[in-house]
């Protein structure tokens, strides 16, 4: 119900053959937190999803060694979901390592999250969000959960539950 599978592959551009393939099961899919469009202040879950599955070219110093061609060649690396779970759990990667300060920093920007996510032939409706308030070294978690029966949202903060407006 919760497990899916991601297929990571690398294709040799010269020979147009798959140089490597790896299938990885997942329960929670981590997504990079990237700015939307031209603005560094706006973030969206959909843009993060697209960035996660965008192919990248391995060329120049990043060429890969192709066993079939027996030399370094340009390649295209890509990931795609091979098996979609019934229930999709996503994790926005808000923490990044700051090499200037040699510590993790949190991107606390607001992220636009749609109430439903359409991916290929699959539709996922949003029913819960886990929020973290704090830093890399400490903080507090609470959750926003939508009732399946009434479609109303509630905030769960330890022993306190309140009706919410999302």
How far is the C-alpha of 89 from the C-alpha of 85, rounded, in Å? Answer: 9
Length of the chain: 166
Q: pLDDT class for 39, splitting at 50, 70, 90?
A: low
Could you tell me the fold of the domain covering 4-126? Cathepsin B; Chain A (3.90.70)
pTM over 0.85: no
Question: Mind listing the pLDDT tens digit for each residue in 112-132?
Answer: 999 999 998 999 999 999 999
50-70: string of b/e by CB count within 10 Å (b at 16+)? Answer: eebeeeeebeeeeebebeeee
Q: What pLDDT digit, counting tens, does each position of 60-79 carry?
A: 999 999 988 899 999 999 99
């Amino acid at each position: 119900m919760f497990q899916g599978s991601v297929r990571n592959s690398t294709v040799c551009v010269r020979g147009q053959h798959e140089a490597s393939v790896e299938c990885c099961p997942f329960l929670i899919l981590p997504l990079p937190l990237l700015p939307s469009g031209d603005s560094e202040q706006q973030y969206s879950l959909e843009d993060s999803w697209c960035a996660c599955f965008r192919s990248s070219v391995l060329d120049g110093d990043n060429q890969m060694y192709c066993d079939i061609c027996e030399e370094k060649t340009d390649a295209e690396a890509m990931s795609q979901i091979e098996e979609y779970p019934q229930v999709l759990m996503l994790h926005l990667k808000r923490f990044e390592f700051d090499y200037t300060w040699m510590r993790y920093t949190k991107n606390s920007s607001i992220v636009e999250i749609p109430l439903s996510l359409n991916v290929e032939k699959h539709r996922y409706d949003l029913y819960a969000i886990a929020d973290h308030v704090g830093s890399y070294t400490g903080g507090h978690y609470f959750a926003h959960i939508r009732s399946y029966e009434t479609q109303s949202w509630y905030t769960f903060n330890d022993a306190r539950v309140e009706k919410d407006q999302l």
